[in-house]
Amino acid sequence: MTIRAIEKVSVGQNGLGAFILQCKKMDIHYCDYSGSSRGMNAFIKSQLSNFAKAHPQIEFAVSPRPRKHPVLIGHYINGRTKSICVKNMDSLQVLKKAQLLRDASGEKNKRVNKPVTSISESVRGVWSPYHGNGMVV
Amino acid sequence: MSRSLLRSVLELRTPITRLPPTFLLPVRARALSTTLQQVEPEIPPRGVPAQTTAPPERSSAAASAPTTTSPFPPPPPAPFQAGLSDSVSQLLPLLRAQPGHYVTVHIHGRPYLVTAGDQVRLPFLMSGVNPGDVLRLDRASVLGSRDYTLKGSPWIDGSLFECRAVVLGVESEPLRVKIKTKRRNRRSQRVKSKHRYTILRISELKVMGP
């Protein structure tokens, strides 16, 4: 007799019941010296505090990375990371990139043809030729 | 010390000084920056009420507003027990009693057949919403269960059902590269595009009873 795992009763779906933001952590790397992180430094000084205050569910880690371009790295619940190099951007552009990381789900970019994806069973059922009144040929 | 202070002041000032004040901007830029809902005046917000960022309490209060202001045949403003035809008032409790329901909601004129728990990837980037916002979708053409179907002409009454969706976030697609060429010419142009899409989760679908 084979050992079978207990089947799951239900599958968790984000937004059904509770909503959980998928971005859990954001790493912010800057350099004090180089000019490419001038906008990043301005972002950290002026806008980061408001952005972090508006998103208490994200952990923000600011750390220097000398002699390198500034980078934003988002860590997601599904285990993936998404990193964006923000060299030579001004602070508003960096803010837009941070919002992009916040809105992302952490999945890989995919092309999807059908707008609706569902895991629930069809409401109307599947058509069967053996049921119903039948058709006279 | 003073040099670093000066540099930080300059850094803080750069994005602000890049744009002159609004009255110095050209006319088109000023109009764009102040336009609110006048982009498509002939197309009303169909599936989504205008207050898309509203929390559930506010959205449910504002949900009946677009149905009454739309140019489409308006649903009866009275409570729906009075305005419904006999067959609907007879059969709606039967539809409600069946376990599963689906609804065809229309967002910007496009139909999406959804049940509770489905994920919808809208073919556009919805502006003014953040992840976690709840939208009340009140424009639907078909509402049904396994054996019963309520068809609207063209829309069913917004007070007969409650359909809510949670904004999950924004997804993107792989970069599309289209190579454009002209005949008898060696030059070829690579046109790149990368669209962004808003993701919704249908969190609730409820058929209201009399």
Query: What are the chain B neighbours of A119 within 8 Å (beta carbons)?
Result: 117
Query: What are the chain A neighbours of B56 within 8 Å (beta carbons)?
Result: none
Residue ranges of domains in chain A, CATH in brackets: 28-103 (3.40.30.10)
Residue B134 lies in a domain: yes
pLDDT attached to residue B71? 44
The per-residue pLDDT for range B129-143, each reduced to its tens digit, is 999 999 999 999 999
Nearest Cβ partner for B8 among A19, A22, A45:
A45
Q: Which pLDDT band, with edges at 50, 70 and 90, does B10 fall under?
A: low
Q: Could you tell me if A98 and A104 are in contact, meaning their C-beta atoms sit under 8 angstroms apart? A: no
Strands A23-30, A59-64: parallel, antiparallel or unpaired by DSSP? parallel
Query: Whole-number mean pLDDT of chain A?
Result: 93
Chains A and B form CB pairs within 8 A to the count of: 108
Q: Which residues of A touch B (CB under 8 A)?
A: 13-17, 19, 21-22, 38-39, 41-42, 45-46, 90-92, 100, 102-105, 107, 109-112, 115-121, 123-125
Residue B1 lies in a domain: no
Which residue in the block uniquely carries the two structure tokens 């000398």?
A66
| Record: contact B12-A100, CB cut-off 8 A | no
pLDDT attached to residue A10? 84
Exposure letters B137-163 (e unless 16+ CB within 10 A, then b): bbbbbbbbbeebebebeebbbbbbbbb
Query: Whole-number mean pLDDT of chain B?
Result: 75
The per-residue pLDDT for range A69-127, each reduced to its tens digit, is 999 999 999 999 999 999 999 999 999 999 999 999 999 999 999 999 999 999 999 88
Lowest mean pLDDT among A1-10, A27-36, A70-79, B100-109: A1-10
Q: Could you tell me if A103 and A74 are in contact, meaning their C-beta atoms sit under 8 angstroms apart? A: no
| Alpha-carbon gap: B4 to the closest alpha carbon of chain A (Å) | 10
- Residue A130's CB is within 10 A of a number of other CB atoms, namely 5
Residue B25 lies in a domain: no
| Record: contact A118-B166, CB cut-off 8 A | no
Q: Which pLDDT band, with edges at 50, 70 and 90, does B11 fall under?
A: low
A36 secondary structure, DSSP code: G
Q: Could you tell me if A58 and A23 are in contact, meaning their C-beta atoms sit under 8 angstroms apart? A: yes
Most A-contacting residue of B110, B119, B198, B199 (CB-CB within 10 A), to test interface: B119
Q: Which pLDDT band, with edges at 50, 70 and 90, does B12 fall under?
A: low
Query: What are the chain B neighbours of A100 within 8 Å (beta carbons)?
Result: 170
| Record: contact A41-B11, CB cut-off 8 A | yes
Nearest Cβ partner for A116 among B113, B131, B172:
B113
Residue B48 lies in a domain: yes
The per-residue pLDDT for range B39-58, each reduced to its tens digit, is 333 344 444 443 333 333 33
- Average pLDDT rounded to a whole number, residues A55-78: 96
pLDDT attached to residue B60? 37
Number of domains in chain B: 1
The per-residue pLDDT for range B116-175, each reduced to its tens digit, is 999 999 999 999 999 999 999 999 999 999 999 999 988 999 999 999 999 999 999 999
pLDDT attached to residue B28? 46
B61, pLDDT greater than 60: no
Residue B18 lies in a domain: no
Residue B140 lies in a domain: yes
Residue B102 lies in a domain: yes
B193, pLDDT greater than 50: yes
- Residue B125's CB is within 10 A of a number of other CB atoms, namely 14
Q: Which pLDDT band, with edges at 50, 70 and 90, does A131 fall under?
A: confident
- List the domain range (segments joined by +) for residue B95: 43-72+80-207
Residue in chain B lying closest to A32 (CA): B4
Residue B113 lies in a domain: yes
Using CA atoms, how far apart are residues B122 and B124, in angstroms rounded to an integer?
5
